[in-house]
Amino acid sequence: MATELGPTPVKGPASGGTPIHHGPKGVGEDNAIASQGKWASWLLAPTIVALAIVIVYPIISAIVMSFQKDAGLDPVTGLFTAGGPAGFSNYTNWLFQQCAAPGGGTVACPPGTLGSQFWSATGTTFYFTIVTVTLETVLGFWMAIIMARTFRGRSLVRAAVLVPWAIPTAVTAQLWLFIFAFEGIGNKLFNTTILWTGSEIPARWAVIIADTWKTTPFMALLILAGLQMIPAEVYEAAKVDGATAWQRFRMITLPLVKPALMVAILFRTLDALRMFDLPYILTEGSNNTTTLSILVVNQIRQGFNSAAALSTITFIIIFIVAFIFVRFLGANVVEQQTGAGKGKK
Partner 1 sequence: MKTPKFLLPVATAGVLALTLSACGGGGGGTTAGSDAEQGLDGRGPITYVQGKDNSNVVRPLIEKWNAAHPDEKVTFKEQTDQADQQHDDLVQNFQAKNANYDVVSVDVVWTAEFAAKGWLQPLKDKMALDTSAMLKPTVESASYKGTLYAAPQNSDGGILYYRKDLVPTAPKTWDEMMGMCTIAEENGIGCFAGQYAKYEGLTVNTSEAINSAGGAVLDAEGKPNLNTPEAKEGLENLASAYADGSIPKEAITFQEEQGRQAFQDGKLLFHRNWPYVYNLAVTEGSSKVKDVLGMTALPGKDGPGASTLGGHSAGMSVYSKNKATALDFLKFLTSEETQKFYATQGSLAPVLGALYDDQELVTKLPYLPVLKTSIENAEPRPVTPFYPAVTKAIQENAYSAIKGEKSVDAALSDMQKSIESASAGQ
Tell which positions 168-207 bind partner 1, by CB under 8 A.
Answer: 181-183, 193, 195-199
Binding positions for partner 1, 4-63, rule CB under 8 A:
4-5, 8, 11-12, 15, 17-18, 20, 37-38, 41-42, 44-45, 48-49, 51-53, 56-57, 60-61
| 228 Cβ neighbours under 8 A, 6+ residues apart | 148
Nearer to partner 1, 114 or 261 (CB): 114
Residues 140-169 that bind partner 1 (CB under 8 A): none
Gyration radius of the chain over CA positions: 27
What are the start-end ranges of the E strands in 27-82?
72-73, 80-81
CB of 131 to partner 1, least distance (A): 22
What's at 226, amino acid-wise? G
Query: Which residue, 12 or 164, is less far from partner 1 as judged by CB?
Result: 12
Residue 219, Cβ neighbours under 10 Å: how many? 26
Cβ atoms of 309 and 93 within 8 Å: the answer is: yes
Distances (CA, A) of 213 to 29, 176, 209, 210, 230: 57, 10, 6, 5, 27
Q: What is the largest CA-CA distance in the chain?
A: 88
Site size toward partner 1 (CB under 8 A) is 72
Helix (H) or strand (E) holding 99: strand 98-100
Closer residue to partner 1, CB minimum distance, 77 or 155: 77
State which of positions 75-114 bind partner 1 (CB under 8 A).
78-80, 82-83, 86, 89-90, 93, 99-104, 107, 109-114
Determine which residue in the list 285, 310, 312, 314 makes contact with partner 1, applying CB under 8 A.
285
Q: How far is CA 116 from CA 90, 112, 162, in A?
A: 13, 7, 39
Contact mark string toward partner 1, 217..246, x via CB under 8 A: ------------------------------
Residues whose CB falls within 8 Å of the CB of residue 157, separated by 6 or more in sequence, listed in order: 146, 147
Q: How far apart are CA 330 and CA 322, in angstroms?
A: 10
Point out which span in 1-9, 133-141, 147-155, 269-277 binds partner 1 (CB under 8 A): 1-9
Segment interacting with partner 1 (CB under 8 A) among 3-11, 121-129, 212-220, 235-243: 3-11
Of 294-313, which residues contact partner 1 (CB under 8 A)?
A: 298, 300-303, 306
The residues facing 73 across adjacent strands are 80
CB of 22 to partner 1, least distance (A): 12
